[in-house]
Amino acid sequence: MAWHQLCNLSTLKNGQGQEFLVGKTIVALFLQDSKLYATDGMCAHQGGPLAQGLVDGECITCPWHGWQYDLNTGNNLRTGKKMLDRYDVEVRGDQVWIEIPCESSEGASTAI
């Protein structure tokens, strides 16, 4: 696992997602009620951009077909099965950092 700097905390808006490319991994980062969540950036159903989805509490709804996931676990709310990877996030100073497996994180982190 390796930690990567994503962005300044002040650039995030409550209730909205932002998409990042960390090496080869597309990540969706969400700020909801002062808590940060990071998951796979693409819906497990048909690859919809989760960062563009609707955040409601600890749930993200894919904007393409309405699939819903628990932001804490990555579980699909309908089936209860884990369908999204989630990533540890922390704030260091005013910077947001994410921990990604090394094999998928080689390269720079950039906002998409």
pLDDT, averaged across the chain: 93
pLDDT digits (tens, 9 = 90+) for 18-52: 999 998 999 999 999 999 999 999 999 999 999 99
> Is residue 112, in this structure, part of any structural domain at all?
no
Using 50, 70 and 90 to split pLDDT, how confident is the model at 6?
A: very high
> Is residue 108, in this structure, part of any structural domain at all?
no
Give yes or no for a contact between 50 and 31, defined as CB atoms under 8 angstroms apart.
no
Number of domains making up the chain: 1
From 36, 42, 9, 11, select the one nearest 24 (Cα to Cα): 42
Q: By residue range, what is the domain housing residue 85?
A: 2-103
User: H helices then E strands: how many in the chain?
Assistant: 0, 11
Give yes or no for a contact between 98 and 3, defined as CB atoms under 8 angstroms apart.
yes
Claim: this prediction has a pTM higher than 0.75 = yes
Give yes or no for a contact between 4 and 22, defined as CB atoms under 8 angstroms apart.
yes
CATH number for 84: 2.102.10.10
Residues above pLDDT 90, as percent of the chain: 87
